[in-house]
Chain A
Amino acid sequence: MNSDSSSLKQALLGLIPNLRAFAVSLCGDIERADDLVQETLLKAWDHLESFQEGTNLRAWLFTILRNTYFSECRRRRREVEDRDGSKASDLAVHPGQQGHLDMQDFRRALNVLPPDQREALILVGAAGFSYEEAAAISSCAVGTIKSRVNRARAKLTEMLGVATPREFGPDSATEAIVARTVGSSRQS
């Protein structure tokens, strides 16, 4: 018994950095991420009997964490949607950043993605899971994961890249010049 819990402790310790990375990329907030990790560890410890020996412990923990995150999201959906709306408009009014992907922009854009697309992109593009593993973690079809990843990539490209169509309309071009003029006159 003791050796069991000791080896489980060691295994969990080794996976905490990965869990935190997943949680932060998922919710965009380190404090909330650590709360998610804590809840995940507690659930994992208490439900170890539902873990199938020989399967991927990392994937199992990721599954617990994302389920915790998404049920929390459902609880605070209204609040989250409000916040996402304001973030999206923040992004849309910075035409000066064309083609420039700094880390802060990237984090913000990631947070604006719909959570299911963000999750798919992180699992496949950052955490190194296969489409099949990601589908098992998110309990959806492989095709669904693929299309979420594609939509997430397209949306990020659009938000961050030179490929933002609205930046090229006459209105936003004028806005950009006005913004620049205002900005430079403030500086001088």
Chain B
Amino acid sequence: MAEKDGSTHLSAPAAAEPEASQQEQRKQSHQPMGQNKPYLAHSKNDREREGGGDPPRPSDLYGAPRGMLDRSLQAQLGRQLRAIFSDVAQEPVPERFIKLLEALEAREKRR
């Protein structure tokens, strides 16, 4: 708020973002929604390729081989899975378990 410069810088990408994502979606649409959007120069090719009816695979959309896309996604999945696990694994042992084990040990001693 206080930085005038910062706000002008921020407003540009923020305005561009929704446009970009709608563009992604219209590429997939069979309806000619892009008429008033001359920057959709590649939409004709996409529609030709879609002709069969099968939705295009994401790798076609991003121009990256499917394997590569999957590998980076896999790496991210692995990181998040380990993060979920280690978040909890780093927490201290709750009091209830310390008390439980003490009670079990005490029971053992009485035997």
Contact = CB atoms under 8 A, between A and B. Distances in A.
Interface in B60-111: 61-62, 69-70, 73-74, 76-78, 80-94, 96-98, 100-102, 104-105, 108-109, 111
A157 interface: yes
Contacts, number: 132
Secondary structure dominating the interface of A:
helix
B82 A177 contact: no
B62 A25 contact: no
Contacts of B88: 17, 20-21, 24-25, 30, 33
A5 B108 contact: yes
A12 interface: yes
B89 A162 contact: no
Contact of B105 (A6, A18, A107): A6
Contacts of B24: 98
A184 B19 CA distance: 13
Interface of B: 18, 21-22, 24-26, 28-31, 55-58, 61-62, 69-70, 73-74, 76-78, 80-94, 96-98, 100-102, 104-105, 108-109, 111
Given A17-B88, A165-B57, A177-B22, 19 more contacts: A9-B101, A17-B89, A20-B88, A20-B89, A24-B84, A30-B88, A38-B96, A98-B24, A101-B77, A101-B80, A110-B84, A153-B74, A160-B73, A160-B77, A162-B61, A163-B73, A168-B55, A168-B61, A174-B29
